[in-house]
Amino acid sequence: MRNQIKADVAIIGSGTAGLAAWRTASKQGKKVVIIESGPLGTTCARVGCMPSKLLIAAADSAHQVRQAPGFGVHPAGLTIDGKAVMKRLKAERDRFVSLVIDSIDTIPEASRITGYARFKDEHTLLVDEHSEVTATSIVIATGSRASYPQDWQKLGDRLVLNDDVFSWDDLPKSVALFGPGVIGLELGQALHRLGVKVWMFGMGGKLGPFTDSAVMDYAKQLFRDEFFLDTDANVQRMERSGNQVEIDFESEEGVTERIRVDYVIAATGRRPNVDQLELDKLGLDTNDRGVPVTDTATMQTSIGHIFLAGDASNQLPLLHEANDQGRIAGDNAARFPNIKQGFRHSTLSIVFTAPQIAMVGESYQALQQRSQQDPESCACFVVGQVSFEDQGRSRVMRRNQGLLRVYGEPKTGRFLGAEMIAPEAEHLAHLLAWAHQSQMTVAQMLTMPFYHPVVEEGLRTALRDLNAQLKLGSAIEDRCMECGVGD
Ligand SMILES: Cc1cc2nc3c(=O)[nH]c(=O)nc-3n(C[C@H](O)[C@H](O)[C@H](O)COP(=O)(O)OP(=O)(O)OC[C@H]3O[C@@H](n4cnc5c(N)ncnc54)[C@H](O)[C@@H]3O)c2cc1C
Ligand SMILES: NC(=O)c1ccc[n+]([C@@H]2O[C@H](COP(=O)([O-])OP(=O)(O)OC[C@H]3O[C@@H](n4cnc5c(N)ncnc54)[C@H](O)[C@@H]3O)[C@@H](O)[C@H]2O)c1
């Protein structure tokens, strides 16, 4: 006989989205339960954002030592102690996880259920074999997992999913990394800078999150100058050989090459954890990936009292998005049927490579699709850009690589979006996202203060170019006279 539990709101998953849903739902004085099947601590803290940034921080410091001679500074030598790198990563990671667990511990024990939830019907969840939860509303916040070709499992423990890198005790000598997307680029470049020999293989020419081919091509060249990268690889054979993996691939010159690596890292994308919830019993409307169609403003699915949040929704698998979506879903689940539209931020995503990559607002591809769908009434978009190769502050720091493209709307002069690979992109992208959310015009953005000499002056140059393309302002003719040296 299963435990029978009744609640106003049941939340599946205690990751970032589930915990945000818990906070907003329980604030309304409702009986809320939260069900978790895996280790506590959230994907972000355990195997995502935080450990990956810790690895990158170690790689950055090695890189700076290597760069020092370019300034006339000659450090005595560089030794990378892989065991110490991983030890610090794990210690700091564990600290972040323990902070999350402390806050989970504030949830009353009676509201926490341990086990794997699946649907019995649209108001009832079965949790393992021990409990049955009946709730007025349900929030699905089950996250995502790494997805990769199943036949790679033949590599056994030589196959590493991106998450598992953070459980290594030492750095390997060599890896073949499949998937030069967001995770692949962050991990691959960091491992390379920590002295691991990296071969990076992609598919179909894609790189990172880019949709603007001008920025993507620039970025490809930068990364290819640093480590082996084939974004459209033809891998002919991959077999385990002792404690290594042997890979035959066709080089870009058409020659078959053979490499042996310690590990194959699969960074070939992630899939929402909705396929094992037995959703087929409910008749929810789903998209072509089997993910329930969800209103972005309310997080409501086609069954009014079922909400979806975080990576599980497959909208934008990012931490702040999981938080926003969880907050909206939890609030609406508690107030159902009197649901409200929640606030969604302007799109902002940052990849912590060097140079960093960022996307803001509408992507180039989304703008192109909008232009093509409605060419008559659509005002379409124009592009302004700046290269960071001659940008003053970037040259001072010997980090003068990068391209920023900004998009604007003719007639209104509104700023629409940006794609970039640039020094300090995390900061440039925040400025742009704030402007985008405030619905600023490019002309208004140009009235804002810019210090000298800073990387943001490069952003100003791109905005001035865009304003000129919009025929709302003149292009910079004499950079030194108009803006100061190296704008
Ligand atoms: C390597 C890596 C680096 C990343 N770096 C960044 C970054 O720098 N910045 C950024 O913004 N984002 C980053 N992300 C993405 C970010 O981590 C995720 O978007 C975010 O953690 C998703 O939160 P979530 O609550 O949706 O999922 P999760 O935190 O994964 O929570 C889902 C929970 O649901 C549980 N669960 C699943 N199914 C069931 C079930 N049936 N029953 C009960 N419980 C269940 C799981 O055990 C899990 O605890 C990164 C991700 C990875 C993998
Ligand atoms: N800094 C951050 O904010 C950050 C960091 C990491 C992850 N994330 C989030 O996690 C999400 C998932 O990231 P991801 O890198 O797993 O997915 P992704 O979609 O960004 O990249 C997957 C890549 O793998 C390639 N690929 C697919 N199959 C392949 C194969 N068989 N061989 C070679 N290449 C193959 C794809 O072409 C693509 O380039 C991101 O979209 C992002 O939202 C964010």
Instruction: Please tell me the predicted confidence (pLDDT) of residue 378.
Output: 66
Same fold, 3-145+271-335 and 348-469: no
269 lines ligand 1 (CB under 6 A): no
Counting ligands in written order, the one closest to the CA of 186 is 2
Specify the long-range contacts of residues 401-404, CB closer than 8 Å, at least 24 apart.
401/222, 401/355, 402/218, 402/355, 402/458, 403/214, 403/215, 403/218, 403/219, 404/215, 404/428, 404/458, 404/459, 404/462
The vertex-316 CA angle with 312 and 321, nearest 5°, equals 85
Give the per-residue pLDDT at 163. Answer: 78
For residue 296, give both structure tokens.
């972005």
Domain 348-469 has CATH 3.20.20.80: no
Distance, CA 162 to ligand 1 centroid (Å)? Answer: 13
* Ligand 2 near 318 CB (within 6 A): yes
Could you list the beta-strand ranges (E) of 330-372: 348-351, 356-361
CATH class of 3-145+271-335: alpha beta
Distance between CA 305 and CA 181 in Å, rounded?
35
Residue 185 CA: nearest ligand 2 atom is: 15
Q: Which phi and psi (to 5°) does residue 242 adopt? A: 60, -130
Is pTM, for the whole model, over 0.80? Answer: yes
The separation between CA 379 and the C-alpha centre of its own chain, rounded to angstroms, equals 30
- CATH for 150-268 is 3.50.50.60
Instruction: Establish whether residue 310 lines the binding site of ligand 2, counting it when its CB lies within 6 angstroms of any ligand atom.
Output: no
Distance CA 329, CA 309 (A): 6
**For residue 162, which phi and psi values (nearest 5 degrees)?**
-50, -40
pLDDT along the chain (487 residues), means of 10: 96 98 96 97 97 98 97 95 98 98 96 98 98 98 97 96 91 98 98 98 98 98 98 97 97 94 97 96 93 97 98 96 98 97 97 98 95 75 96 97 97 96 98 98 97 97 96 82 78
Q: Which two tokens stand for residue 148?
A: 């990769």
Q: Is the CB of 186 under 6 A from ligand 2?
A: yes
Closest ligand 1 atom to residue 351 Cα is: 8
**Domain ranges, ordered by start, for the chain:** 3-145+271-335, 150-268, 348-469
Closest Cα to residue 89, out of 4, 169, 195?
169
Instruction: Give the residue ranges of DSSP H helices in 264-318.
Output: none
Locate tokens 């071969």: which residue?
199
CA distance 249 to 241: 16
Ligand nearest to the CA of 36: 1
Ligand 2 neighbourhood includes 115 CB (under 6 angstroms):
no
Cα separations in angstroms, 98 against 3, 142, 162, 184, 408: 30, 20, 22, 27, 44
